[in-house]
Structure formats: structure tokens, C-alpha cells
Copies of this chain bind each other. A is one copy, B any other.
Amino acid sequence: MKPKVMILLGSASDYNIAEKALDILEQLKIPYDLRVASAHRTHEKVKKIVLESTRQGVEVFIGIAGLSAHLPGIIAANTHRPVVGVPVDVKVGGLDALFASSQMPFPAPVATVGVDRGENGALLAAQIIGITDEEVRKRFSQLRESFYSKVERDENQLLNNMG
């Protein structure tokens, strides 16, 4: 099935953050692809992946990277598709990656979510895809509902334990 989301990792060591994103995409049945290709190390590869993915109909990119985290910005420079940035905390509390992703100049915005929040990156991608894909939108709403139910259950369990 043709991927709608392309996830790019700056390094294989960012995979634990990516996993949170994959888990959400699978729950929402959004086809995705994942590649490892840091902005600085394998720049041509990033570009090639982005151009090909864009041509083949990928609708949203997710760039996951730490440190000076240029990856989401490089993706944004090579596509007209929206790019989601997930900053990873490696040093200085992840502020470096948060700034690198959010503080992009005109005209190459990156849709930045919270430090280490792979799951929110995937949800944002789902919301974007859901604009035209009603099935995804429904599943997104269900997932949100089921999460709310879980919060309720957590609360009940907590209150019971407090007793």
C-alpha cells in the first residue's frame, strides 16, 4: 500500500522516539514508510527520498532528530508537503532541537511538536491526512475518545486506590 506518511530519522538512535509515532500510525491504519538519513550525513539521500516520496503521493513528512536537528528543515526545503518536526532530547534538555525545528525562517516552516513527542507527531500527521480521508478522521476521533476513556479509567483506579 502506498505510504501517506514518510518518517525520516536523523539517526538509528532516534528509533525509540519513532516507535511512538509508528504505534499511532498503525492504530490509525495510515500507511507509512521509515528511513534513516541524517540531514548532514547523507544529504543527497534525504533529498532523493523526499522528492520521490512527494512524487509518489506521500502527504506528510515527519522528521525526528536531536541536537542541531536540521533534518525537518532539509525535508521542508525539498517538498511542498507539510513537514512535522519531532525534536529529540540529546543535550541541553532538547532545547537545541526544539529551536532548530520551530525557529525555521520564511518560507520553510516546520510543524514542530514537543520534545520527544513522537506520538504527537503522528497524530498531527493523521489530522492533516484526515482532512480528505474520512476513515482516518474517524479513527483519529475514536483513538482520542478511547484515550479519554483511559484517562477516566485511570482516574477511577486512582480514586479506588485512594479509597
Contacts and interface: CB of A to CB of B under 8 A. Distances in A.
A106 B147 contact: yes
A41 to B, nearest CB: 6
Given A40-B104, A91-B103, A128 B82 contact: yes
B107 A99 contact: no
Interface in A85-119: 89, 91-96, 98-117, 119
Given A36-B151, A109-B121, A154-B12, A67 B131 contact: no
18 contacts: A34-B158, A34-B159, A36-B155, A40-B73, A41-B151, A59-B131, A66-B105, A67-B103, A92-B94, A92-B115, A102-B102, A104-B120, A105-B120, A106-B120, A109-B117, A109-B120, A109-B123, A131-B132
